[in-house]
Structure 1
Amino acid sequence: MSDARPKRATEPSGPSPTEPGTALRVAVVLLVAASGAVETISFTALDHVFAGVMTSNLALLGMAVGRAQATGVTAAVLALAGFGVGAAVTAWFTRRPRGEVTRWSPPVLWSLAGEALLLAAGAVTWALLDGAPGPLARDVLQCGAALTMGIQSGAMVAAGHAAAPTTYLTGSLATYIVKGVGAGRPNRWVPARLAALMVGAAASMAVLRNAAAWAGVLPPVLVVCALLAAGVRRGGAAGPAR
Structure 2
Amino acid sequence: MPGAQGLGPGTADHVALVLLAAASGAVDALAFTVLGHVFAGVMTGNLALLGIAFASGHPIDLTAPLVALAGFVAGIWATALTCRGCAADTRPGWPTRALLCLAAETGLLTVHASIWAGSGGVPGRTLREVLLCVAAVAMGGQSAAMLVAGRVARPSTYFTGSLATYVARNAGVLSGASDRWVPVRLAALVAGAAVAAVLHRWAPAWAAVPPPVLVLAAVLITTYRHTRPRPAAIPLHKG
Normalising by structure 1, report the TM-score.
0.87
Aligned to 1:177: 167
Aligned to 1:240: none
Matches within 5 A, 1:35-74: 35-74=24-63
How far 1:64 sits from its partner (Å)?
Answer: 0.6
How far 1:89 sits from its partner (Å)?
Answer: 0.6
Q: C-alpha offsets along residues 56-108 of structure 1, whole Å, 9 cap, x if unaligned?
A: 10000000110022232010000000000000110000012226794011100
Aligned to 2:151: 161
Matches within 5 A, 1:134-145: 134-145=124-135
CA-atom RMSD in angstroms: 2.1
Matches within 5 A, 1:72-221: 72-98=61-87, 102-182=92-172, 185-221=177-213
Greater helix proportion = 2
Answer whether contact 1:32 1:166 (CA < 8 A) is retained.
Answer: yes
Detail structure 1 runs of 4+ shifted over 3 Å in the superposition.
Answer: 99-102, 183-186, 234-237
Aligned to 1:22: 11
Please give the alpha-carbon distance, in whole angstroms, between the structure 2 residues aligned to 1:181 and 1:29. 24
Give the counterpart letter for 2:43 in structure 1: M
Please give the alpha-carbon distance, in whole angstroms, between the structure 2 residues aligned to 1:15 and 1:32. 29
Q: Max radius of gyration: which structure?
A: 1
Please give the alpha-carbon distance, in whole angstroms, between the structure 2 residues aligned to 1:37 and 1:30. 11
Q: C-alpha offsets along residues 121-140 of structure 1, whole Å, 9 cap, x if unaligned?
A: 01010001101111110011
How far 1:38 sits from its partner (Å)?
Answer: 0.2
Please give the alpha-carbon distance, in whole angstroms, between the structure 1 residues aligned to 2:102 and 2:25. 16
How far 1:166 sits from its partner (Å)?
Answer: 0.5
Q: C-alpha offsets along residues 153-197 of structure 1, whole Å, 9 cap, x if unaligned?
A: 010001021100011100000000112443584321011111111
Aligned to 1:3: none
Answer whether contact 1:165 1:172 (CA < 8 A) is retained.
Answer: yes
Equivalent residues, number = 225
Aligned to 1:5: none
Please give the alpha-carbon distance, in whole angstroms, between the structure 2 residues aligned to 1:187 and 1:113. 26
Compared CA separation, residues 124 and 15, structure 1 to 2 (3 A): farther
**What secondary structure sits across from 2:54 in the alignment?**
helix
Query: What 5-or-longer segments of structure 2 have no aligned partner?
Result: 231-239
From 227, 230, 233, the equivalent of 2:222 is: 230
**What secondary structure sits across from 1:114 in the alignment?**
helix
Answer whether contact 1:30 1:222 (CA < 8 A) is retained.
Answer: yes
Please give the alpha-carbon distance, in whole angstroms, between the structure 2 residues aligned to 1:145 and 1:184. 35
Answer whether contact 1:112 1:152 (CA < 8 A) is retained.
Answer: yes
Please give the alpha-carbon distance, in whole angstroms, between the structure 2 residues aligned to 1:197 and 1:181. 23
How far 1:232 sits from its partner (Å)?
Answer: 2.8
